Structure formats: C-alpha cells, structure tokens
C-alpha cells in the first residue's frame, strides 16, 4: 500500500461532530439532588435530539464528586459521580443509549489539580514526610527582612479572589501551589 492511499483513509475522530455539554445547565430531569441543575438522566433524554443534530460524540464536562468550588473542576473523587448529577448507573445507562445510536461519550478529565477535599491532598497535607507529600507542589515560605512570611514567588492565580497562586498551610508551615483557586491544589 502506498503512503498516498493510506493517507486518504477516513478517520472517524477527524470527521466526527463533537458536542460539549456543561451538565449543570443542560437539562434537569428531576433525578439529581439539586433542583434546577442539569443531570445525567436529562442528558440521556436528549440523545435522539443530539443524534438528529448530527452529533457523533458527546463531550461531558466534569460530573465527578466535587465540593463545587469551581463547577466540578475541583474533583474530590475520580471514581464516583456527584449526586447532583445522578449515579454511576445513570452514566452506564447514558453510555448504553449512546452506543445504541453509534455515538460516543468523551468525559472531561481534570488532571492538573484536584479538590482540596480529595483524599490524596488530605494525605499530602497531613505531614511533611507523608508518602503523598510530593504528589502536590509544596514550597517553604520566603521570609522578608523583617521576618514576615511570604509566598515562595510572585506567581498569580488564574481564577479566584487571591492574588497569589500559593496558599499557606498552617499545619505544615508550607505553601501549596493552586493556580486556579485555593480549593484546587495543583498536582506535581
């Protein structure tokens, strides 16, 4: 087979129509725990509509367990669905219904940071010598001439109200990096 022939082969992922759904504002079926917020059953109920629009792949923004400091982008458990969106069974049903229509599901997975409620961070924060300490970015404070504690550098936060991207942890006396919000410590 010549190179020219192999390059002409159509690739589904190059031609597919991807439709991103922000679940909180899509459709509330009434099945979730937060009235007025969209949920997975609401998405499932609109699959035929999405198919009729020509959608091949549903891209779902985060629905994992989260304290919701940043609309689900602060994940506290990667293995479970936040009850406000439904259950793991609801996701299984969504996948099954998409599959019946030759559609695919793409889950938005946040791997830059976790929630400050995530078990990994709680362990990391528990002591300076915890095995998960280096799973996050920790730095000692900078001290000015007067002996006043300051963040390690002048990095700024992308979101949130704080100016510094560094959040002080009184328990261990160090700062952790949180580029988005203090509730979203960055993974190392």
How sure is the predictor about 3, in pLDDT bands with cuts at 50, 70 and 90? low
Residues 26 and 88 in one domain: yes
CA 83, CA 11: separation in Å to the nearest integer? 36
Q: Which two tokens stand for residue 138?
A: 């920790």
CA distance 31 to 45: 12
For all residues of the chain together, what is the average pLDDT? Answer: 93
The predicted model gives 169-174 an average pLDDT of 96
The Cα–Cα gap between 65 and 68 comes to 8
Q: How far is residue 179's CA from residue 111's CA, in Å, rounded to a whole number?
A: 13
Q: What's the domain range around 166? A: 119-177
Same domain, 18 and 94: yes
- Name the DSSP class of 20: E
**pLDDT of res. 12:** 84
User: Which of 107, 140, 167 lies at the terminal end of a domain, its last residue?
Assistant: 107
Look at residue 187 and tell me if it is in a domain: no
pLDDT at residue 41 greater than cutoff 70: yes
Q: What is the pTM of this model?
A: 0.86
């Amino acid at each position: 087979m010549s190179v020219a022939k192999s390059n002409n082969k159509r690739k589904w992922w190059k031609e597919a129509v991807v439709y991103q759904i922000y679940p909180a504002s899509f459709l509330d079926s009434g099945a979730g725990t937060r009235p007025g917020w969209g949920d997975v059953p609401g998405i499932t109920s609109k699959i035929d509509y999405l198919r009729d629009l020509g959608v091949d792949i549903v891209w779902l923004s985060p629905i994992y367990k989260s304290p919701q400091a940043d609309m689900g982008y602060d994940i506290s458990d990667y293995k479970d669905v936040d009850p406000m969106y439904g259950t793991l069974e609801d996701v299984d049903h969504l996948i099954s219904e998409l599959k019946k229509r030759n559609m695919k599901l793409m889950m938005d997975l946040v791997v830059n940071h976790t929630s400050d409620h995530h078990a990994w961070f709680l362990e990391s924060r528990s002591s300076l010598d915890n095995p998960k300490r280096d799973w996050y970015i920790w730095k000692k404070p900078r001290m000015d001439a007067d002996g006043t504690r300051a963040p390690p550098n002048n990095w700024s936060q992308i979101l949130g109200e704080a100016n510094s991207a560094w959040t002080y942890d009184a328990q261990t006396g160090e700062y952790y990096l949180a580029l988005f919000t203090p509730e979203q410590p960055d993974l190392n």
